[in-house]
Amino acid sequence: MLRRCLEAEWRKLRHSRMWLILLVLPVLSTLIGFANYWMNQAILRNGWYSLWTQVSLFYGEFFLPILIAICCAFVCRLEHVNRNWNMVLTAPVAVSQVFLAKVMMVSILIFFVQLFFLALYICAGFVAGLPAHFTFPPEVFGWIMRGWLASLTIIVFQLWLSMRIQSFALPVGISVCSVFIGLGLYVSGLGLFFPQSLLTIGMGVLSQDSMTVGELGTFVVMCVLFVTGGCALGIRRLIRADVMSQ
């Protein structure tokens, strides 16, 4: 049944314009970061690492959380129209599978966005002429994967919000506010206790220092706890909600 739920989510996205947003936002964030790097090369002298600080700052700190919020709002949009939640929740499918299918679909989309951003970062480095002078940082692959893992913590809570709120824009607006809260918590040393801050840590946005084994273990544990808690909230919402009021 989970496979059929995934197929249904795929059909909703296949002919939508969501793909344009998935492509445009990473390109836009890379262009902004690259332009900032290009104009400040006299200060930013650490090659690939300096380029990463610029492109990942705009992408990981701002554009990716907003992109996640848009994806989550979109996959819940059809259900909010004409009380379609009633039809979904009266189908012979467990509500947990309905929620998990949405989580998996958005997670798959963000995974490919992460790979696309990695390709854009490499291309930006070639355009800047970095391969001739600097060694490509092997840590970048860890940043991409940890960033994707941290994005799962944002996905589950954004889906929970999008299921509760019929408006498309409001959950996205909440995500924008959460970005600044996460940045404040990261600066305060409390980054492990908020999803957006976990994304900042995972992608090495503000610090490219390698994680120790203990720090990596703590990071993974916090991601698992957030994902588990977010899934529990989302499934509980579907079980207990008065769907006729959607």
Closest to 60 (Cα-Cα) out of 153, 143, 137: 143
Domain range for 83: 2-245
Rounded Cα distance between 175 and 191, Å, is 16
Contacts (Cβ under 8 Å, ≥6 apart) of 205? 53, 56, 57, 60, 61, 199
**Contact indicator for 55, 124 with CB cutoff of 8 Å:** yes
The span from the CA of 161 to the CA of 108, in Å, is 20
Cβ proximity of 22 and 105 under 8 Å: no
DSSP state letter for 130: G
If the chain, 246 residues long, is cut into consecutive pieces of 10 residues, what is the mean pLDDT of each piece? 74 81 92 92 84 91 92 85 71 81 93 96 89 77 94 95 87 91 89 91 83 89 94 85 51
Give me the number of domains the chain comprises.
Answer: 1
Which of helix, strand or coil describes residue 97? helix
Contact 205, 61 (CB under 8 A): yes
Q: Give the pair of three-digit tokens for residue 184.
A: 């404040």
Question: What is the per-residue pLDDT for 244?
Answer: 46
Tell me, what's the pLDDT at 205?
Answer: 85
pLDDT computed for residue 246 by the predictor:
45
120-140 burial code (b ≥16 CB/10 A, e <16): bbbebbeebebeeebeebebb
* Strand runs labelled E in 91-241: none
Asked if 41 contacts 51 with a C-beta cutoff of 8 angstroms, the reply is no
**Number of residues written out for the chain:** 246
